[in-house]
Amino acid sequence: MISGLALAKASFARDRAYLLNHLINNIGSIIFGYINVRIWLSVLGSTPEGYSAVTYLMVNQAGLWLVMFIPRGCYIPNKVREGTIAFERLRPYGLLYGSFFEIAGHLSYNFLFRSIPIFLFSILFMGVSLPASSQILPYLITLLNGMIIAFFLNYYVGLWSIRFISINGVQMIYYFATALFSGAFIHMQYYPEAIRKLSMALPFAYSTYVPAAVYQGTYPLADALLHQGVWILVLGSLAVFLTKKSLKYLVIQGG
């Protein structure tokens, strides 16, 4: 655990070197969210449904830095290309363990310097509603679970690079599936029934839609924890299995 925390701290410090650049990126994220908000308000009007959509959209916009915009393949593709993946085999911990804590440090940074500023701006200037006091802790718990689910999905992209080197195709598929099935930009209630059922049968919605719905008090916490827990168990077990299989095909590219 100590070595894991050291990895997380190093990852946090590495990202902090680009703080100004990231704060500028936050402006772009806010503008993108504002455009979406104005589109939905033009459709739904200044109604309770409209302002509910505003809250849902901007909560997700802030959360995208935690569940969607994770480093491609959890840094693994870069390590494969540079050859430093060889050193991962020599460390006293496994690739999955090291990747998890590297991403944990990155997401901690994003939470403090990306998600929170976007969220606060949304509350102050865009009419986003604060959650009920009873929903704050449930939201944070389900958000954390969503981050773990998103980590595993990105980790699979990284494992792909060990076997096939290039991740461009699978990364595009991942982004497409996340955008479509996570409910990040469109609330699930507006999906056609078939797409909604398919989305809820996949893990993407449990990283994005479910935490936002818990925030608004429209999704039962017990159901959220049960379904997220199942997906974490399934994805985690599969990650352990695929890691062992993938490392058998490891080819060092750099050096």
Whole-angstrom CA distances from 181 to 15, 31, 37, 174, 176 are 29, 23, 20, 10, 8
Question: Hey, CA dihedral for 33, 192, 183, 190, is it positive or negative?
Answer: positive
What is 146-182 written as a DSSP string?
HHHHHHHHHHHHHHHHHHHS--HHHHHHHHHHHHHHS
Mean pLDDT, all residues of the chain: 90
- Provide the whole-model pTM: 0.93
pLDDT tens-digit profile of 113-172?
A: 999 999 999 999 988 999 989 999 999 999 999 999 999 999 999 998 888 878 888 889
**Interval 207-226 mean pLDDT:** 96
CA angle in degrees (0–180, nearest 5) for 114-117-123: 135
| Residue spans per domain, the chain | 2-249
Distance CA 59, CA 175 (A): 19
**Tokens at 236, concatenated:** 């985690």
CB of 44 closer than 8 Å to CB of 116: no
* pLDDT for residue 252 is more than 70: no
The tens digit of pLDDT for each residue in 230-250 reads: 999 999 999 999 998 877 766
Helix (H) or strand (E) holding 99: helix 95-110
Tokens of 190: 């507006």
Q: Which residues contact 206 (CB under 8 A, 6 or more apart)?
A: 145, 146, 149, 224, 227, 228, 231
Q: Is the pLDDT of residue 82 over 90?
A: no
- What is the maximum alpha-carbon separation in the chain? 61
Give the total residue count for the chain. 255
Q: Are 31 and 72 in contact (CB under 8 A)?
A: no
